[in-house]
Amino acid sequence: MSSYTSNHLRLLSLTKQLTSHVNQGRHADALSLFHRMQASPSLTLDPYVFPLVLKSCAAISRPRLGSSIHAHATKSSLLFNPFVACALVDMYGKCFSITSARKLFDEIPQRTVVVWNSMISLCTRCGRVDEALHLFQSMDVGPNESTFNPIIAGLSELEDGSFMAIEFYRRIQRVGLRPNLITLLALLPSCVGVAALSLIKEIHSYALRSNIEPHPQLRSGLVEAYGRCGCLVYARNVFQCMEERDVVAWSSLISAHALHGEAKAALEVFQQMELAKVWPDDITFLGVLKACSHAGLADEALGYFDRMHKDYKLEASADHYSCLVDALSRAGRLYEAYRVIKEMPVKPTAKTWGALLGACRTYGEVELAEIAGRALFEMEPSNAANYVLLARIYASVGRYEEAQRMRMEMKERGVKVAPGSSWVVNQD
């Protein structure tokens, strides 16, 4: 056997071992093995070794080691190999060195679509969606689904990005690119954000035609999207068609009913979920507690809140406590709600205090309203609604001087009520 063949077989064996270390998360072992391979004068490392070890660098955040591997790839004339270049861009991005990633990207003379996709995906993951869009527009090779999926996902996460995500989706349709499962999953939150029920139906129809619809993750997303847009019949139909319903699907249907005030239906779905022996999570209980709060089912809310910890060993978040406070407040059990706020192990949110303040107006409870109002003034000093609501509570019980004082305090703090607006167009 020639020395070349022997070294080649040895390289293949070591690469296989390196792959095993990386795939099983033994990244320190992978890096140690790479150092031994690198130190062996008889081995010439090929382009398949570098992406593996760079993946380990990214996994345990070792950018300096990644930079040394970058230098080794340069000396080996492998820097601009598409596999190596993509792995380096990804490694720098995951190690929070996007500047280094962009510098490397700009130096690559011939960028494949895979290299473009890596840089675009990195920009979106780092919240630099404008840069990702600029890169997309600058592409000198034809894009594919992996190009535009991260852009849609990034736009969907922006506060005002839903319309842009939908427009970008239309744009890729016009150039003949076909959406895949990831595209549809990334787009659904934007459809919900602007209540685009017609687009949700379009996505559903496309998924059926393309045989994507049976995917459990997409069906769960459709249940949530239909539910949040008020189309409970469609949400329920999709849910009923699912052969296997995971916790996400059950939680989505519970939340859909809760959102639209159908507390009884939401609680019935939860009972069916338990009978199906699907273990609920914190999102499930958030939907259950919202259903109870919207219907003012205080005792039921307390019961489910207790079961959440005792039966399912789940820790309540500030949102769970807010729902419980809201349920007690709506039922007129204001001091009980206040006790929950005082004893909760996490910091109360503005939503928590706001639930109590709103109920104080309903039940004419001034003392607690003052406590809740002052807490809200500290948390949201520029929110005019809190000042106005407390002023109205004072006025409702004839304490006009305190109501006037609230208005003066607003003026002193420079808090202004936003003027009303309308989308109705004057046709005259």
**Burial of 249: CB neighbours in 10 Å, binned 0-12, 13-18, 19+:** buried
Cβ–Cβ under 8 Å, residues 203 and 188: yes
Report the predicted TM-score, pTM, of the whole model to 2 decimal places. 0.75
CB atoms within 10 A of CB 52: 19
| Residue 424: predicted pLDDT | 43
Better-predicted residue by pLDDT, 342 or 230: 342
Question: pLDDT, tens digit, for every residue of 164-209?
Answer: 899 989 988 888 888 899 999 999 999 988 888 899 999 999 999 9
211 pLDDT band (50/70/90 cuts)?
A: confident
Per domain, the residue ranges of the chain are 1-121, 144-238, 245-302, 316-415
Asked whether the predicted pLDDT for residue 213 surpasses 80, the reply is: no
Mean pLDDT rounded to a whole number for the chain: 88
| Residue 421: predicted pLDDT | 45
Ramachandran assignment for 277, one of left (phi > 0), alpha (psi -120 to 50 degrees), beta (any other) = left
What one-character DSSP code corresponds to residue 215?
Answer: -
Question: pLDDT, tens digit, for every residue of 11-51?
Answer: 888 889 999 999 999 999 999 999 898 888 778 888 889 99
Domain 316-415: CATH superfamily is Tetratricopeptide repeat domain (1.25.40.10)
Better-predicted residue by pLDDT, 400 or 41: 400
Question: pLDDT, tens digit, for every residue of 44-63?
Answer: 888 889 999 999 998 988 88
Percent share of the chain, pLDDT over 70: 96
4 pLDDT band (50/70/90 cuts)?
A: low
Cβ–Cβ under 8 Å, residues 42 and 65: no
Find the mean pLDDT for residues 335-346. 96
Q: Which two tokens stand for residue 366?
A: 């001034």
Counted residue by residue, the chain has a size of 428
Question: pLDDT, tens digit, for every residue of 366-383?
Answer: 999 999 999 999 999 888
What one-character DSSP code corresponds to residue 244?
Answer: S
Please name the amino acid found at residue 301: A
Asked whether the predicted pLDDT for residue 97 surpasses 90, the reply is: no
The number of CA neighbours under 13 Å toward the Cβ of 379 is 16
Distance of CA 415 to CAs 349, 355, 371, 391, 418, Å? 21, 21, 20, 14, 9
**Do 316-415 and 1-121 have the same topology in CATH?**
yes
Q: Burial code of 198-207, b = ≥16 C-beta within 10 A, e = fewer?
A: ebbbebbebb
| Residue 419: predicted pLDDT | 56
CATH class belonging to 1-121:
mainly alpha
